[in-house]
Structure 1
Amino acid sequence: MPEEDLIELKFRLYDGSDIGPFQYSPTSTIAILKERIVADWPKDKKFAPKVANDVKLICAGKILENSRTVGQCKTPFGELPNGVITMHAVVQPSLAKAKSVMLEMSIVSDKIF
């Protein structure tokens, strides 16, 4: 694939640091991006995703679905030619894990009061 067809992305983390930039084909899926984020997540961060489903990617104010492609998510306005697109990477553990943490907190608070 010609280099000019590639889309350059970086991923902004909760503390303002970045992963990337990396170049992706417009046909790459969001799921592939999430796997790359998990693999390249800095080891010194307090919060880290364990699996790709722990990561939510946000671009232009929208949470991106795993089945969408990079090309579908690229907004046609407001970007400079050959510019790097920034996506925000948010760590959000699975719902089952969040429920178990809430249950533990509930049990502890019942014992305290």
Structure 2
Amino acid sequence: MPEEDLVELKFRLYDGSDIGPIRYSSASTVAMLKERIVSEWPRDKKIIPKAASDVKLICAGKILENNKTVGQCRVPFGELPGGVITMHVVVQPSLAKTKTEKKIDESPKKSVCSCSIL
């Protein structure tokens, strides 16, 4: 691969830690990036994505679509040659999982009152 076809990316997680920087081809798709993020996700985190569909990538304030390539997602201005592009990672569990969690949350809760009358 020619050197100019490579883009150096790092992925900022919800707690401020990073995955990368790693060099990718400009032809790599966002879906490929998500698969790699899931495979390299630190296991000591509270939130762990189960699949690439649980992950959203944000670059320059835009949510990236799976079928776009890294070359299409790059911002043309403000890039330094040889600089690292930071993409933000949002973990959003699938809809089926959140529906089952809601059922658990809807169970009756015990009320605890800590009022003091003086």
Deviation at 1:112, TM superposition (A): 2.8
Task: Give the structure-2-normalised TM-score.
Answer: 0.89
Q: How many angstroms apart in 1 are the aligned matches of 2:109 and 2:35?
A: 41
Q: Which amino acid aligns with 1:9?
A: L
Q: Which residue of 2 aligns with 1:44?
A: 44
Alignment of 1:78-93 (within 5 A): 78-93=78-93
Aligned to 1:7: 7
CA–CA separation in structure 2 for the residues paired with 1:62 and 1:100: 29
**In structure 1, distance between residues paired with 2:103 and 2:64:** 29
Aligned Cα RMSD in Å?
1.1
TM-score using structure 1 length:
0.92
Question: 2:53 & 2:3 partners in 1: Cα distance?
Answer: 30
Q: Is it true that 1:76 corresponds to 2:73 in the alignment?
A: no
Letter in 2 for 1:65: E
* Alignment match, 2:32: 32
**1:102 offset after TM fit, Å?**
1.5
Cα shift at 1:103: 2.3
Matched AA of 1:97: K
The equivalent of 2:97 in structure 1 is: 97
Unaligned runs of 5+ in 2: 111-118
Question: Partner residue of 1:20?
Answer: 20
Higher helix share: 1
Q: Read off the aligned partner of 1:13 and give its amino acid letter.
A: L
